[in-house]
Structure 1
Amino acid sequence: MPPQLSDRIKSIQGVRLPGRSSTWDIHIDHSVGTPTITSVTPHVSEVAESPLLLPALTHPHIHLDKAFVHSAPEYKDLLPSTGIFQEALSSTTKAKQRFSHADLLRRGEWLLAESVASGVTAMRAFVEVDHTVELVCLEAAIALKNRWAQSCNIQIACFAQDPIFSSEHGEQNMGFLQNALSGYDQIDVIGTTPYVESDLEAAKKNIEWAIDSALQLNRHVDFHLDYNLDPKKEPLVWHVLHTLKDRKWTSHSSKRVMIGHCSRLTLFSEDDWARLAAEIHDHSLPVTFVGLPTSDVYMAAAPNGSPQDRPRGTLQILHLIRKHKLDAVMGVNNVGNSFTPWGSADPLSLACLGVGIYQAGSQADAGLLYACVSTRARAAIGLEAREGLCVQDGWAPELLLVRDRDETGCGVSRPRSNVADVVWSPPGVVNRDIVVGGRLKGSVCNEDDIYHFSSLPHL
């Protein structure tokens, strides 16, 4: 179940902010509409062992319905044996035939609980709609969205994992998608997987349908795209950009476009990337690339590779941002299923992985990696944009405070004094206080003298 939240927090006293000296007080106003940080002022005196205050974390791309399939006993016969993509598709299809509303709620709450405990207060959650599951995943997601609304902003992506323009079930799959989109206004995003279509023509129709539908319904659009390392395959990203320009997306919509995986693009030359960046910048396309390294390094293998030759491909997110000025973030994608049987729901573990994946060991790298799972990720899914990691007036009070509590059982605690410390060695959840909507997530002592609560009762 969702965590208990405290009464409204009036102020947070004596915290450290990234890149600033001394300690600070954060003041929050609850009187009108959405809670808002109204001022950040110097604390009157230094505070020993003051916590580090950072923006809350965000999942820009995570699958809610397929989470923790491997942890549920009813799927124990579907554990991976080869680890290849086709096996994952096949075993997931079999698992989906067993999905029920109760099972989806149970596993979904596992994911939400672990995410919120990590510091996630917003997520884009993919749920599949097709002839196998029909609308059961979507309806479970809506129930979870409502149940967890105070703890996490769950943005629902209605997702076509299976073909919609090819295969014997393509027409059925399309019918269920259209029924979902016309019948459920809780859907925020249209998502598809063009590469699962049987041929290039069908894949391009898939892209065009998703963009046209998103424009018609005023929704974000999100593609799983170019998930291969085959230089012989035409990258579909060019057709996405062509269709966005042809349909004049920027003139007709304020919504965003997300493109995920894209391991095929790791074979691009710098000239290819420069051309792609120019296409996006010259036409002001609101496109974000999301790197999903936990899945990519496990699943995105080159064709016909030998055991001694196993290249992997995942987008070089920091390079795309710095060199090509592209909007790019990082996402967890899958947790505990055949597409990604390893890793956790913690975005900080993903940022930590990025240090190694991208050979990004400087403090500036750490700050950018943190932004890629927090402020940049939040803006990428269409929520408010925030500059930097240092809390400012006007921000919504969605915050992560890194504390200095013993998590070893040895009476020893190690402080994390800056963002790099947090990214290089993420603290356990016992050292993460989560503020969501200006309230403190449960299990934290309300008598702590850094938190000052208003007299208004908890609602």
Structure 2
Amino acid sequence: MKLDNIIIPSRDTPAKRWNIETDDGVICHMTQSSCSDTLPPTILLPALCHPHIHLDKAYLSTCNHSPSNTHPGYHDLVPRSGSFAEALANTSKAKERYTEDDLYLRGSQLLANSYTHGVTSLRAFVELDHVTGFLTLTTAIRLKKDFAHLLDMQICVFAQDPIFSTIHGEANRAIVTSALSDYISFIDALGTTPYVEESREASLQNVEWAVTTAIKYKLHLDFHLDYTLAPPVSPKPLVFSVIELLQKHSWVGISKTIVLGHCTQLSVLDDSQLAQLAEAVIASKLPIHFVGLPTSDLYMMGRPEQDTNTSHHRPRGTLQVPSLIKTLGLSACIGVNNVGNAFTPFGTGDPLQLASWGVGIYHAGTIDDARLLYGCVSWRARAAIGINSDVDGREIEAGRRIRGMLLIENRKDVELPGTSNESGFKFPARQRISFKDIVWDPPCVELRSVVR
């Protein structure tokens, strides 16, 4: 395979162009290009990653199935109030209708959509409980196998519902435990949602069970955590207890990462509290990564309380990811989370669009910020889930593997139609040549391809 007039923004200025020849995805020859500046360049970038995305819940609100035995309809479960409680309730109702064909279709649509956007790795959450049984997991295993030539897909067995409280807690926990025992060779991570338990004590039981179980089965660990904007009067946010329990059970030295998703409560802490948290994480030497999920967080968090006169007060309510990285020295990235369901009815699932929105969400508008935001949906996201954490594109040279990296093309001209009496006209297309151009103005899917 030959690639001509290539810009590598991770390592060079846009003025330097390369001609690259590959053999089986590995660079065998690389020389500086003598192509004229009038020829549109192609940009070679590290591929994109979904560090946190729900597979079984994708497109529940937008699948537009005609109800049948194999593809149930979900038209009656679209958001009406748009509340978090409604989203939980409607998703529980949707689970009762799941079929294998339906799960496979929506899952394959999500994975195909992800690949066309430039995603080559992801952590896919599949919810297991007393309603779903193993159906979501066995379908995910089938999808993982069928898409293995395109995507490095981790399966995260996920307990969205309580496992230590409510009448179904014990049954939910038993389903997850049985799944880990029966399908462990296909599972990469264990996830739970401690905040849905009915008490702080049950939440701590949830965390400790997840920690010890992940250690037993040698799995990555992934918590949905501290999903509130209520100031923590006492006790502290649960993230502090997670650190303590990980230390108690000697996680340090285990070659698996810990991902903490959402954690919106951290956005209401003052600077001294955040500094205390950062100090605790860094001192622990635990491989903890925070994943901000801004599209879901902004949609669900910061809603005005009823019967108040401050309806226009809407806190952003999501982790300030660039500040976690630059100011506090923590490992962090951003993820899509949900696509086309009651938790996030909008958006295409494009990580580059998410990075672009991050410019406004995080007030991150500098050139350096653009590179950081790209990293948050690429190499930083992969680091969080333990995949190719050292690949950021800086060391592209002969002998390096580039299969699976992302190519962004540039058009030479833009052509527009004329009137009925005049011919059309064309003018030079604007060129994207750097991280800032890619993040500030994401290219359409037709200009993206993955190196094969």
Given the two structures, how large is their TM-score scaled by the length of structure 2? 0.89
* 1:218 alignment counterpart: 218
Q: Which letter maps to 1:279? A: A
Farther off after superposition, 235-244 or 20-29: 20-29
Matched, 1:417 2:433: yes
Determine the C-alpha separation between the residues in 2 that align with 1:280 and 1:27: 44
- Whether contact under 8 Å (1:229, 1:302) holds in the other structure is no
* 1:231 alignment counterpart: 231
Tell me which of 329, 332, 335 is aligned to 2:336: 332
- 1:214–1:38 CA distance, 2 compared to 1 (3 A): farther
Determine the C-alpha separation between the residues in 2 that align with 1:344 and 1:64: 14
Matched, 1:319 2:335: no
Determine the C-alpha separation between the residues in 2 that align with 1:237 and 1:178: 24
- Whether contact under 8 Å (2:292, 2:335) holds in the other structure is yes
SS of alignment partner, residue 156 of structure 1? strand
Structure 1 segments unaligned to the other structure (5+ residues): 1-8, 440-459
* 2:62 alignment counterpart: 71
SS of alignment partner, residue 277 of structure 1? helix
- Whether contact under 8 Å (1:54, 1:391) holds in the other structure is no
Given the two structures, how large is their TM-score scaled by the length of structure 1? 0.88
Q: Deviation string for 1:305-360 (max 9, x for gaps)?
A: 64222223100100010011100000000000000011111000000000000111
- 1:13–1:197 CA distance, 2 compared to 1 (3 A): same
- 1:37–1:374 CA distance, 2 compared to 1 (3 A): farther
Q: Deviation string for 1:364-393 (max 9, x for gaps)?
A: 110100010011111211111235444524
- Higher relative contact order (Cα pairs below 8 Å, separated by 6+ residues): 1
Determine the C-alpha separation between the residues in 2 that align with 1:277 and 1:29: 44
* 1:25 alignment counterpart: 19
- Whether contact under 8 Å (2:296, 2:343) holds in the other structure is yes
Where in structure 2 are the equivalents of 1:45-444 lying within 5 Å?
45-46=35-36, 48-73=39-64, 74-184=73-183, 185-232=185-232, 234-251=236-253, 253-301=254-302, 304=305, 306=308, 307-386=311-390, 388-390=392-394, 392-393=396-397, 394-405=400-411, 410=416, 413-435=429-451, 439=452
Deviation at 1:288? 0.3
Determine the C-alpha separation between the residues in 2 that align with 1:151 and 1:63: 18
Determine the C-alpha separation between the residues in 2 that align with 1:259 and 1:80: 27
Q: Deviation string for 1:149-176 (max 9, x for gaps)?
A: 1111111000000000001001110111
Q: Deviation string for 1:84-123 (max 9, x for gaps)?
A: 1100100010011111110011111111111111000110
SS of alignment partner, residue 123 of structure 1? strand
- Whether contact under 8 Å (1:54, 1:390) holds in the other structure is no
Determine the C-alpha separation between the residues in 2 that align with 1:406 and 1:63: 38
Determine the C-alpha separation between the residues in 2 that align with 1:314 and 1:126: 20
* 1:446 alignment counterpart: none
* 1:447 alignment counterpart: none
- 1:299–1:407 CA distance, 2 compared to 1 (3 A): farther
- 1:304–1:408 CA distance, 2 compared to 1 (3 A): farther
Farther off after superposition, 148-157 or 274-283: 274-283
- Whether contact under 8 Å (1:40, 1:392) holds in the other structure is no
- The size of the alignment, in residue pairs, is 422
- 1:188–1:225 CA distance, 2 compared to 1 (3 A): same
Deviation at 1:280? 1.6
Q: Deviation string for 1:175-205 (max 9, x for gaps)?
A: 1101110111101000000001111000111
The alignment's C-alpha RMSD in Å is 1.9
SS of alignment partner, residue 432 of structure 2? coil
Deviation at 1:303? 7.1
Deviation at 1:297? 0.4
- Whether contact under 8 Å (2:40, 2:411) holds in the other structure is no
- 1:67–1:42 CA distance, 2 compared to 1 (3 A): same
Determine the C-alpha separation between the residues in 1 that align with 2:412 and 2:278: 46
- Whether contact under 8 Å (2:403, 2:450) holds in the other structure is no
Determine the C-alpha separation between the residues in 1 that align with 2:258 and 2:126: 18
